[in-house]
Structure 1
């Protein structure tokens, strides 16, 4: 009876508080080894979230994830779809059904360790984490509130990394690591550099036959895949892709262009290539495989510091990783010199974020199709090795387990 009475008090208290706030965290009777939080999970377009969080939930038996629809607007999805996405996820992973919770009026945060990705997510949860004295670890990906020399970003970083509950930050770009250490945000032993990220391994079970230029088809198919965060997609280089497409079409009639993500024919005038371009909109990550199997090159001319003063993307984008997994050659920009792993010219092609540089790279493939095929194979093999679960998951699991064992 005492337990029932206690739970009743918690419910009434949480309900009363939640009338003033969107939600309230409380320390319930059930204690977990690991609680994960995310503001987009399990949206089907975010393959890297689905891959990492699913793997962690499967690995840590006493774990759960709290998912919200806070960032659904960024991918043009109604928040009301969140419950459907949760239902779809649990249908695909029935063993994890009891491990996923939708953040509603109140939620139990009694855990040995808290984990999330992106600066905004850890910052938004910091108050209750400190109130309940819960150690936390997070991955600092580019984006999600993190900017180089950004006033708000630096303020959040200082508060998060100075927290008495902070234990470790995982960084996936050398640029990020250098920025944290050079500016004294944390000590070297508090940051773990793991290049890349956990990504879906579905390409290992590709049931579609890859179609190659001149071997299986007469068209050379170029694609662009990115979310839309600003007009004309300037940060992702969508404008540069279209400009290059117009130039290439003036000379070559057999090239086709494909746009996946948040763009359509209304963003930039494409009348000059209207019969040669196709828009797919946002896609579920598991639907990309079928599209990529008809592509030859993915163009990713993203540019830093346009979305915000210090905003930048990771190298390479997750959509590029998925494409290369499926035998598509990456033609990609790297203005911040973040590439520390891949060989330019044999495993991918690094270009400037302008149309002439892209046109030059594509022309080289047209003149030497065999080079295109060789690079597709070499890039795929290298990417599969770098982004293999065997490479990416163990160090992350070990970091979390080390902190759990201390509690």
Structure 2
């Protein structure tokens, strides 16, 4: 049904006012005759840079024929993408997955929200939709990933969590980190039986089927030792992701080995921190979608992720490991990563990956070990890829999520 026609019937015949409200993001949720099994909300889907959403939501669509996602692309600015590109990304998604056409609806105008169950990721996303979910009595499940408004021991974050968990419509929360699970229990924010712990996160399964015949490895089929840093930019110098530490490390180790090359993927440029001494040894790629990352990672030997907790904001922390780290490991890149909060729940240090401190000295020590012992580099590359393939398979990640949604729908029908 034409949105303007519906609004005109509700608000009268003042077409200029109607069009103004619509283009200003006017949102009026209503329960229509058509009922979905699962209704999703998101603020960036289907942006190609968010591979986990593309995989997770697509899997939901394919398992629940009556499912849709309502999108208000406010997060486009966070990743530096013009919001005008959103429609192009929708077109690309529907072209790639023709059977899933018309699954994406904008959070604008009159929107049919009639559904057996609502789902989203991040606390901010569930909180912003809480009022109409309660008004229309729609039960919900959400994933509490790190970030997205979730901060440890911060009153605004805790207040949101309390309101969400006390909602009569709340059914289950999925948590992906040990520290998140412990936090909810220690602060008595949520009933234990309503928490589902699934370590890790969802990964595009195409990443698990990489053909690494063209993978380049130090002293195997190339003479350079290529080091990558990959992260989104939320601070000017990237202190939260350890970009400042990465540059300090690069400046020092470049003086020791002239065959090392540095590569930066994400929101950082040569303007953020002075890189003049290594300008001829460092390349910047900007933001990349997960498919393009594969083409970059095939030339990388290691990826360094010296991210730090509680820097972006009090109580702010990253999940372990970052999505960019997962993608690197699946491409045969050895990952060096911090774990300040002891969130590792699956990987064996020095076998599957290498744990570091967010200090240049710690990174230099480990990198020298790999340069001087290439066999160790190759072994961790192979072991890491195998372990990450297992941990991030849909059997481990998506199957329990789909089962949870199915169980909650069945429970709500009774």
Length-normalised TM-score, structure 2: 0.94
Contact persistence 1:119–1:145 (CA under 8 A): yes
Q: Secondary structure at the match of 1:28?
A: coil
Structure 1 residue 80 and structure 2 residue 84: aligned? Answer: yes
CA distance in 1, matches of 2:284, 2:25: 41
Q: Is the 8 A contact 2:7 2:110 kept in 1?
A: no
| 1:338 alignment partner in structure 2 | 343
Name the structure 1 match of 2:44.
40
1:68–1:82 contact (8 Å) kept in structure 2:
no
Tell me the distance in 2 between the aligned counterparts of 1:27 and 1:159.
Answer: 23
The one of 284, 288, 294 aligned to 1:283: 288
Q: CA RMSD in A?
A: 1.7
Q: Which residue of structure 1 lines up, in the alignment, with residue 70 of structure 2?
A: 66
Name stretches of at least 5 consecutive residues in structure 1 with no aligned partner.
none
Match of 2:180 in 1: 176
Q: Where do 1:248-287 residues align within 5 Å?
A: 248-287=253-292
Runs of 4+ in 1 over 4 A off after TM superposition: 7-11, 14-21
Structure 1 position 10, deviation (Å): 6.5
Asked if structure 2 preserves the Cα contact closer than 8 Å seen for 1:256 and 1:277, the reply is yes
Alpha-carbon offset, residue 11 of structure 1: 6.1
- Deviation per CA, 1:71-110, whole angstroms, max 9, x where unpaired? 1110001111111110111000010002121222221100
Task: Please name the residue that 1:205 is paired with.
Answer: 209
- Secondary structure at the counterpart of residue 314 of structure 2: coil
* Contact 1:18–1:24 (Cα < 8 Å) also in 2: no
Give the Å deviation of 1:59: 1.1
Is the contact between residue 7 and residue 109 of structure 2 (CA under 8 Å) also seen in structure 1? no
Which residue is 1:240 aligned to? 245
By how many angstroms is 1:205 displaced?
Answer: 3.4
Aligned to 1:55: 59
The change in CA–CA distance for 1:281 and 1:8 in structure 2 (over 3 A counts) is closer
Q: Deviations over 1:258-279 (max 9, x none)?
A: 0000000000000011000000
* Matching of residue 13 in structure 1 with residue 10 in structure 2: yes
Number of residue equivalences: 403
Contact 2:49 2:290 in 1 (8 A): yes
SS of 2:77's partner is helix
Equivalent residue, structure 2, for 1:292: 297
**In the alignment, does 2:349 pair up with 1:349?**
no
- When normalised by structure 1's length, the TM-score is 0.96
Q: CA deviation at 1:215?
A: 0.4
Taking structure 1 as reference, are residues 170 and 52 closer, same or farther at Cα in structure 2, changes over 3 Å only? same
Q: Helix, strand or coil for the counterpart of 2:345?
A: coil
CA deviation after TM superposition for structure 1 residue 12, in Å? 3.0
Residues 204-229 of structure 1 show CA distances to partners (whole Å, capped at 9, x for unaligned) of 33345111110010001010000000
Q: In structure 1, how many angstroms separate the alpha carbons of the residues matched to 2:5 and 2:266? A: 46
Structure 2: distance between partners of 1:204 and 1:395: 19
Question: Could you tell me whether the CA contact under 8 Å between 2:68 and 2:105 is conserved in 1?
Answer: yes
Secondary structure of the 2:68 match is strand
Distance 1:65 1:135 in 2: 16
Q: Secondary structure at the match of 2:92?
A: helix
Contact 1:17 1:24 in 2 (8 A): no
Q: Distance in 2 between matches of 1:11 and 1:116?
A: 31
For residues 22-71 of structure 1, give each alpha carbon's deviation from its aligned partner in whole angstroms, at most 9, with x where no partner exists.
32211111110000111000001111111111111111111111122111
- Report if the CA contact (8 A) 1:112-1:135 is conserved: yes
2:328 alignment partner, one of 314, 319, 323: 323
1:118 aligns with 2:122: yes
1:137 maps to which residue? 141
Q: Does the 8 Å CA contact 1:259/1:280 hold for their aligned counterparts?
A: yes
Change (3 A) 1:11 1:331: farther
The 8 Å contact of residues 297 and 328 in structure 1, kept in 2 or not, is answered as yes
Which residue pairs with 2:15 in the alignment?
none
Q: How far apart are residue 203 of structure 1 and its match?
A: 2.6
Taking the aligned partners of 1:178 and 1:141, their CA distance within structure 2 comes to: 14
1:18–1:106: 8 Å Cα contact kept in structure 2? Answer: no
More deviation, 99-108/117-126: 99-108
For each residue in 1:235-266, what CA deviation from the matched residue of structure 2 results, as whole angstroms up to 9, or x when unmatched? 00000001100111010000100000000000
Give yes or no for the alignment of 1:303 onto 2:308.
Answer: yes
Gaps of 5+ in 2: 12-17
